[in-house]
Structure 1
Amino acid sequence: MKLWRRASGALKDRNSIWLASLSRRTPLRNPNIESAVIKATNHDESRVDYRNSQRVFTWIRLSPAYLRPFIWALCTRMEKTRSWVVALKGLMLMHGVFCCKVPSVQRIGRLPFDLSNFKDGHLNPVQAWGYNAFVRAYYAFLDQKSAFIFMDLQERKGRTKETEEKPMLQELSRLQKLQVLLDLLFQIKPLDDGMNMSLILEAMDCIIIEIYDIYSRICNAIARLLMRIYSAGKAEATAALRVLQKAIIQGEELSLYFEFCRDIGVLNASEYPKVEQIPEEDIREVERIINGVSQGTNMKNWVPQEDNAIIVARESGRVNEGNNAKSGLKTIITDNWENPSEPDLSAWSVKWAVCGCDFHLY
């Protein structure tokens, strides 16, 4: 049965490539891009076609004119498929396109296809439920990520100066959206013992890289927030407290997620960062601000030195650590990070798993 399914999938791919070669080149359609998308999202569950994935990313970087044909080709592929392999490879390809950090991609908004109710049509329901859940969870994250990137772009356009400081409520809103994205990432994992195959592990490598990036952004945003907390009103302090409480919960979930990924053999989780909790004294201090009794003591554990940056700690890190027994999301101070808004993931020596390009998110 598996051999028949593989042969049938290969035949479908060849037919699709042949039909794509017959199409006329228009602003909406490009036979070469269509062919590369089909090859990058083939039915073979044993491998990922890095070569054609890279071809797609190269086109996207070259010119915004190539984005429409790519979107058309991928949407057509995703709307027709009933194969979890094709659907997952399509999501990984879209994920890689986002990581190319091209302005035209940042304007996509919500994903132009819908896999929220995806069901594999080739496996029986007992076999398929885990793969269906994996595809749906991956889609839910990418859909929200795409919307977040678009809204973040609109917000940056609305600022009069790039260096202008955001209002605290706006910063808190962005932080909460990042926390939502992190929650969605935690939902992406194989739920069945039989799912620990190479394609699933490749996808999980991509997810781990994404988690490193978003989590470090959350750490930086909380650090900036606590530097400004004494000038906050009661509404801002109340919202900040909710963010900190959520960060505590997510820190615990993150440790469990990394352990799970390491146990199933996800390569990028093999040396996961140590995750501790936000200092209890900082939580109490925010509560005192809400109640109007704060004495304005410094939150040393979470406020970085001026012009330095906070990142998630790696236990074997090559930078200076600043934390104590209570400190959470371990504070790391480094003078080598020139732009705190762009976290440096080189400490984990990870590259984008699909295309081999440097990983950039927003």
Structure 2
Amino acid sequence: MGTLNTLRKAYGVLKDKTKIGLAKFNNITIIKATNHIESPPKERHVRKIFAATSVSRPQTDIAYCVQALAKRLSKTRSWIVATKILIVIHRTLREGDPTFRDELLNYAHRGNFLQISNFKDDSSHFVWVKTYVIFLEERLDCFRVLQYDIEAERLTKLASGGSSKGQSRRKSTEELIEQLPALQQLLSRLIGCQPEGAASDIYLIQYALALVLKESFKIYCAINDGIMNLIDVFFRMSQDDAIKALEIYKRAGQQVEELAEFYEYCKGLELAKNFQFPTLRQPPPSFLATMEEYVKEAPQSGTNLASHNLSEQWDLALFTAPSTNTTHAVESELLLVYSVYEDEAIRRQKQLTNARYGYEGQPMMMIVPYRYPQQLQVQHMGHFSPFGEPPLFSIPPNSILLQ
């Protein structure tokens, strides 16, 4: 019995030492990845953090890494260290296991999220760090509402040759009215990450901006899918839902302009010279009048019979009535709206095919950031460049797509 107790104690001591050793290793890796050198985190350190927060690791290890990153962020007074911490968090959210995101959400629930209270400087560097923090916080908040990751969902479907339509295209009206504003708010925070002043010329900030930029089109597509879904059912909505849907549609039009301006800015960045940006199309403003007219006549919630009759009248007016000038104009506007939103995925797929990312008869192959063998990765000063993703097939040198 005494021997067994001795063995248990020895095992406990060994286990404690192992935990301490792993904690020290993870802490050292985090410090090295987020040091004061004004360059992106080294790839080998980031990969070690991926491994330390993978699903194969104990939950306590993952929690330790999250807490260590958050603690280092809350204590630093250096915009360089803060930016590198946020890059590590962002990349792990994008490329790491979902266990990291889940632990980050748990940590945020306790009110100890990405705090930068020690930042007293109002220079453009520090201001940009704050906007980056806000975007990452919004990214997690959006996941709470949607309960799925936009980027992972879209890339997985397209890489496997599945439908290009995202989950927003298959949601109910109630889900869309709740989720689309969250997506639009996320896109707004993303556009707000445009640096100003001296921050615009700093490579480290441009590196982080690239990670943000690469998420923009997925968010834009998710919103487009949702708008298409709303348009499908808009003329059968109750008045309350129609009012909310109309506001979503209006904001979508405004954000097309804002995103186009953001892309124009990004085109001027040295690191984005070879990027192929998507062409954004503005929905016809004249269709707003048609939607507003329906809102005035739409039934109140709970009047099922009236709602059914009115929706039938609008469907007939739009699609089956004799071709008067009014109905023909409304029908043309509706078809134009469909073309703006529904053709986006088709145009994008053609862009990919033209750039030789896919070929006839085979599933479309998509770029998955940072998933390539180390020897294929484009390097910048010894660091992985988010702008220089290698293609799966040979493509023209100026055809790097925004994916």
Counterpart CA distance in 1 for 2:262 and 2:169 is 36
Paired residue secondary structure (1:275): coil
AA of the residue aligned to 1:213: K
Paired residue secondary structure (1:146): helix
Residue correspondence of structure 1 range 117-136 to structure 2 within 5 A: 117-119=117-119, 125=121, 129-136=123-130
C-alpha RMSD over aligned residues: 3.8
Counterpart CA distance in 1 for 2:73 and 2:129 is 11
Q: Which structure features the higher share of helix residues?
A: 2
AA of the residue aligned to 1:119: F
2:77 counterpart of 1:43: no
Paired residue secondary structure (1:300): helix
Among 199, 206, 210, the residue aligned to 2:204: 199
Counterpart CA distance in 1 for 2:123 and 2:288 is 41
AA of the residue aligned to 1:97: T
Counterpart CA distance in 1 for 2:276 and 2:246 is 31
CA distance 1:310–1:146, change in 2 (3 Å): same
2:183 counterpart of 1:148: no
Counterpart CA distance in 2 for 1:240 and 1:106 is 30
Residue correspondence of structure 1 range 13-52 to structure 2 within 5 A: 25-26=18-19, 30-52=23-45
Residue correspondence of structure 1 range 233-312 to structure 2 within 5 A: 233-267=238-272, 270-292=275-297, 294=314, 295-297=317-319, 299-303=334-338, 310-311=344-345
Q: What's the offset of the Cα at 1:98?
A: 1.5
CA distance 1:168–1:84, change in 2 (3 Å): same
Counterpart CA distance in 1 for 2:273 and 2:361 is 23
Q: What's the offset of the Cα at 1:96?
A: 1.3
Counterpart in 2 of 1:317? 351
Deviations 1:239-267 (A, max 9, x none): 11111111111111111111111213242
Deviations 1:83-137 (A, max 9, x none): 11111111111111211363433433374433354526xxxx5xx6111111100
2:53 counterpart of 1:60: yes
Counterpart in 2 of 1:176? 181
Deviations 1:278-304 (A, max 9, x none): 123432332232123842446334448
AA of the residue aligned to 2:335: K
Q: What's the offset of the Cα at 1:42?
A: 1.3
* TM-score between both structures, scaled by the size of structure 2: 0.64
- 8 Å CA contact retained: 1:148, 1:177: yes
Counterpart in 1 of 2:228? 223
2:228 counterpart of 1:211: no
Paired residue secondary structure (2:205): helix
Q: What's the offset of the Cα at 1:64?
A: 5.5
2:97 counterpart of 1:96: no
AA of the residue aligned to 2:134: A
Counterpart CA distance in 2 for 1:178 and 1:336 is 34
Paired residue secondary structure (2:351): coil
AA of the residue aligned to 2:51: T
Residue correspondence of structure 1 range 312-351 to structure 2 within 5 A: 313=347, 317-318=351-352, 346=366, 349=367, 351=369
AA of the residue aligned to 2:210: D
Q: What's the offset of the Cα at 1:195?
A: 4.2
CA distance 1:200–1:251, change in 2 (3 Å): same
Counterpart in 2 of 1:9? none
Deviations 1:328-360 (A, max 9, x none): xxxxxxx9999xxxxx993xx5725778999xx
Counterpart in 1 of 2:82? 87
> What are structure 2's unaligned runs of at least 5 residues?
1-15, 149-166, 298-312, 320-330, 355-359, 371-383, 391-403
- 8 Å CA contact retained: 1:24, 1:31: no
Matched positions, count: 300
> What are structure 1's unaligned runs of at least 5 residues?
1-22, 155-161, 321-334, 339-343
Counterpart CA distance in 1 for 2:243 and 2:361 is 34
- 8 Å CA contact retained: 1:309, 1:337: no
Using the TM superposition, name which of 168-177 and 291-300 deviates more: 291-300
CA distance 1:147–1:59, change in 2 (3 Å): same
CA distance 1:194–1:243, change in 2 (3 Å): closer
Counterpart CA distance in 1 for 2:68 and 2:267 is 35
CA distance 1:289–1:28, change in 2 (3 Å): farther
Counterpart CA distance in 2 for 1:64 and 1:309 is 43
CA distance 1:233–1:72, change in 2 (3 Å): same
Counterpart in 2 of 1:115? 115
Q: What's the offset of the Cα at 1:148?
A: 2.1
2:131 counterpart of 1:137: yes
- 8 Å CA contact retained: 1:220, 1:311: no
Paired residue secondary structure (2:335): coil
Counterpart in 2 of 1:326? none
* TM-score between both structures, scaled by the size of structure 1: 0.70
Counterpart CA distance in 2 for 1:71 and 1:282 is 47
Counterpart CA distance in 2 for 1:337 and 1:287 is 44
